[in-house]
């Protein structure tokens, strides 16, 4: 590779706020974003902690993914100076907006927090169901029955890709156009996903309003919505392969651009902390017990979820030159591999991750990784991931593994699920352009299985030419991307 794929713009949002400066203040300073979330009732769960943005002026309307994706996409196009009407592909890594599913079941059951019930979107239930928060942990188990938040959700889908065709009619319920479709149209005119009570204000039956909002749970619908809102006319693809989804979208765009099939693409991904997925990770006992994420540290206890949405503009180098665009970085290598070891655990030797990284390095013309100055690790802070990832990186470039700084930015942002690949792509790009390595926050105790240079707790200055970012997902999927400074 000689820099055929160029990055010309990006937009990003995390719990720290919107834009690159928010990442610099949080991720690059090594400041964790975790706090008790008030977005929903956390009483039934083992921890209330998440890397979720607080309410306020920078909040996303109704915590709807479509709004956050549109904001990041608009910022990416503005930075790239790519006009509406451009024949650019839109590739999205996402699992859909599960908030609409939770709201639908609440409204169907007439539960607190449902539209028109008088409860808010974050109804906190009775005092009997609450528990005291101490250092991010609950002191006692909840009294009374806990609720099932898993039904109806698409979160278990792994390894599937949906090609978006002509999805133009929002709505999952088979109803005449005069019913749910009209409700969807009115909600769209009102700004998309309505908040509690808005259906009544628009003269829409609450059940139909809920059904119309369920369209946002369909990944393909969100890709259509994003492409239409950005005014881009190229092909649309949606990837739903869990935590590598948005990285897979970037890799596919690079393949299309480098082969000459397209000139430009907007690659995006998003996840906003919501109860559907939070409940599933809690039931799987994957969430950190002490309210912190400590990747590669011997005292790590698990992951925490976080808000993450980002979009990047990729172009062929020739296309960017013709229109006078300023290159931010080049994508010079990419790789994807599956080890199929276990549905939820990585191969203990990191076989798939090593294979993906070697693919990316070979494509970059550097099979030994001699030009790498930094690795942005997947680094979930879970028992199985961190040791396996360390061994995988050692296998990918055995002669250089100990001399290449590695860090996990999930220690500050939390796990961003389908958005992890694209947000960490932006973080890696900033590390290249700023010459600063983001630290692994919370690394307190050495783990004999994790014996690389993890940039503990404090940022580090570095003159970088190339950097690698890797991700892994349920089902054994692994991705790797090599970025180069212009």
Which active-site residues does the annotation give?
243, 378, 415
Report the distance separating Cα 144 and Cα 141, nearest Å.
9
426: closest CA among 1, 21, 2?
Answer: 21
DSSP H or E stretch at residue 279:
helix 275-283
Structure tokens, 38: 């008030």
CA-based nearest residue to 261, from 388, 403, 91, 145: 91
Task: Judge contact between 350 and 391, C-beta under 8 A.
Answer: yes
Q: Check: CB of residue 360 under 8 Å from CB of residue 334.
A: yes
Handedness of CA 430, 407, 405, 252 (dihedral sign): negative
Task: Report the length, in residues, of the chain.
Answer: 486
Instruction: Tell me phi and psi for residue 334, to 5 degrees.
Output: -155, 150
The DSSP result for 324-353, as a single string, is TPPP-EEEEEEEEEE----SSS--TT-HHH
Q: Which residue has the tokens 């239409």?
A: 228
- Can you name the residues that pair with 446 across neighbouring β-strands? 297
Which residue shows structure tokens 């798939």? 352
Q: Tell me how far apart the alpha carbons of residues 56 and 121 are, in angstroms, rounded to a whole number.
A: 15
The vertex-101 CA angle with 97 and 105, nearest 5°, equals 165
Residue 187 burial class via C-beta count within 10 angstroms: exposed 0-12, middle 13-18, buried 19 and up: buried
């Amino acid at each position: 590779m000689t820099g055929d794929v160029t990055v010309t713009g990006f937009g990003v949002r995390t719990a720290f706020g919107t834009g690159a400066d928010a990442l610099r203040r949080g991720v690059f300073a090594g400041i964790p974003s975790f706090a008790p979330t008030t977005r929903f009732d956390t009483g039934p769960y083992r921890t209330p902690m998440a890397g979720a943005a607080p309410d306020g002026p920078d909040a996303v309307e109704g915590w709807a993914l479509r709004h956050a994706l549109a904001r990041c996409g608009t910022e990416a196009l503005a930075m790239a100076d790519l006009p509406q009407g451009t024949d650019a592909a839109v590739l999205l890594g996402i699992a859909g907006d599960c908030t609409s599913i939770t709201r639908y079941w609440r409204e169907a059951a007439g539960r607190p927090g449902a539209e028109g019930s008088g409860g808010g979107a974050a109804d906190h239930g009775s005092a009997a169901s609450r528990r005291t928060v101490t250092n991010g942990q609950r002191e006692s188990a909840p009294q009374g029955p806990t609720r099932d938040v898993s039904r109806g959700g698409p979160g278990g889908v792994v390894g599937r890709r949906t090609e978006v065709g002509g999805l133009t009619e929002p709505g999952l319920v088979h109803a005449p156009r005069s019913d749910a479709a009209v409700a969807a149209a009115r909600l769209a005119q009102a700004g998309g996903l309505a908040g509690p009570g808005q259906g009544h204000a628009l003269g829409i039956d609450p059940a139909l309003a809920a059904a119309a909002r369920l369209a946002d749970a369909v990944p393909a619908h969100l890709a259509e919505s994003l492409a239409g809102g950005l005014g881009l006319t190229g092909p649309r693809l949606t990837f739903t392969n869990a935590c590598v989804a948005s990285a897979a979208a970037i890799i596919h765009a690079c393949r299309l651009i480098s082969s000459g099939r397209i000139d430009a693409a907007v690659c995006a991904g998003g996840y906003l902390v919501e109860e559907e997925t939070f409940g599933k990770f809690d039931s799987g006992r994957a969430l950190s017990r002490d309210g912190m994420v400590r990747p590669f540290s011997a005292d790590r206890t698990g992951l925490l979820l976080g808000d993450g949405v980002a979009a990047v503009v990729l172009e062929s180098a020739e296309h960017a030159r013709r229109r006078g665009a300023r290159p931010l970085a080049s994508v010079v290598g990419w790789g994807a591999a599956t080890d199929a070891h276990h549905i939820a655990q990585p191969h203990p030797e990191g076989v798939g991750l090593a294979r993906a990284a070697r693919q990316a390095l070979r494509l970059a013309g550097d099979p030994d990784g001699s030009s790498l100055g930094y690795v942005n690790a997947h680094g979930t802070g879970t028992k199985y991931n961190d040791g396996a990832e360390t061994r995988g990186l050692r296998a990918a470039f055995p002669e250089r593994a100990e001399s290449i700084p590695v860090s996990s930015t999930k220690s500050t942002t939390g796990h961003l699920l389908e958005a992890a690949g694209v947000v960490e792509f932006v973080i890696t790009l900033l590390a290249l352009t700023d010459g600063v390595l983001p630290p692994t926050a919370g690394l307190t105790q050495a783990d004999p299985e994790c014996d690389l240079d993890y940039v503990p707790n404090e940022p580090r200055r570095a003159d970088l030419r190339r950097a690698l970012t890797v991700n892994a997902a349920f089902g054994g999927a692994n991705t790797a991307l090599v970025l180069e400074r212009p």
